[in-house]
């Protein structure tokens, strides 16, 4: 989760990244990113759709599952969010715009997700793969357990 005072700064950074890449950061994409950045829990596409429909009546006409999934695909492609495969949900990326392996701690009790920065772990994974002549495409490691609040 991005702290509330930093959500606008995060959105501006996302806008700048998209502009540098010549990508359109549409109002819907921006709103989806804002919703994800504003919560400490991962959000699924249908939860996002419900939140979008709460915004206003016009959004109810525009927002549909394919629209939300396209926005999420865009945000994933540009390194602004991560998909948590175990939950089929999305969280904000702590390192927007940088290609990196996803390492996540998932609380099996409350569902909280934390992104880790652990270069030694990713180096070990890449080294082991290289020894087996395996070319890694994407690497996401999800570790389940209990967060500090739930222990």
CATH architecture of 102-145: 2-Layer Sandwich (3.30)
Residue 149: the pLDDT is 94
What percentage of the chain has pLDDT greater than the value 90? 62
* pTM of the complete model: 0.84
Q: In the chain, which segments carry CATH 1.10.10.10? A: 4-92
Phi then psi for residue 103, to 5 deg, are: -120, 120
Farthest-apart Cα atoms in the chain, separation: 56
- The length of the chain in residues reads 151
Interatomic CA distance for residues 3 and 20, integer angstroms: 25
The pLDDT assigned to 4 comes to 47
Question: Residue 2: pLDDT above 60?
Answer: no
Give the fold, CATH level 3, of 4-92.
Arc Repressor Mutant, subunit A (1.10.10)
What is the token pair recorded at 19?
A: 């502009």
C-alpha–C-alpha distance, residues 129 and 89, integer Å? 27
Return the number of other C-beta atoms located less than 10 Å from residue 14's C-beta: 25
- Supply 102's token pair: 């996803």
20-29, 58-67, 78-87, 110-119: least confident range: 58-67
Residues 6+ apart with CB under 8 A from 88: 44
Whether residue 32 is predicted with pLDDT greater than 60 in this model: the reply is: yes
Alpha carbon distance 113, 133 (integer Å): 32
Q: Give the mean pLDDT of the chain.
A: 88
**What does the pLDDT look like over 96-116, one tens digit per residue?**
877 777 889 999 999 889 888
| Predicted local confidence at residue 151, as pLDDT | 93
Domain limits, CATH 3.30.1490.190, in the chain: 102-145
How far apart (Å, rounded) are the C-alpha atoms in residues 49 and 55? 10
Looking at residue 43, the DSSP 8-state letter turns out to be B
Residue-wise pLDDT tens digits, 4-16: 458 999 999 999 9
């Amino acid at each position: 989760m991005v702290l509330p005072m930093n959500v606008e700064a995060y959105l501006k950074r996302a806008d700048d990244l998209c502009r540098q890449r010549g990508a359109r950061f549409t109002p819907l994409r921006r709103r989806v990113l804002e919703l994800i950045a504003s919560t400490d829990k991962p959000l699924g596409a249908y939860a996002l759709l419900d939140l979008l429909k709460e915004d206003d009546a016009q959004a109810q006409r525009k927002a549909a599952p394919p629209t939300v999934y396209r926005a999420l695909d865009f945000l994933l492609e540009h390194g602004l969010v991560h998909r948590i495969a175990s939950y089929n949900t999305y969280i904000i990326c702590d390192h927007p715009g940088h290609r990196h392996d996803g390492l996540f701690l998932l609380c099996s009790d409350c569902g909280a997700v934390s992104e880790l920065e652990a270069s030694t772990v990713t180096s070990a994974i890449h080294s082991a793969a290289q020894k087996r002549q395996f070319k890694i495409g994407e690497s996401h490691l999800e570790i389940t357990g209990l967060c500090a609040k739930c222990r």
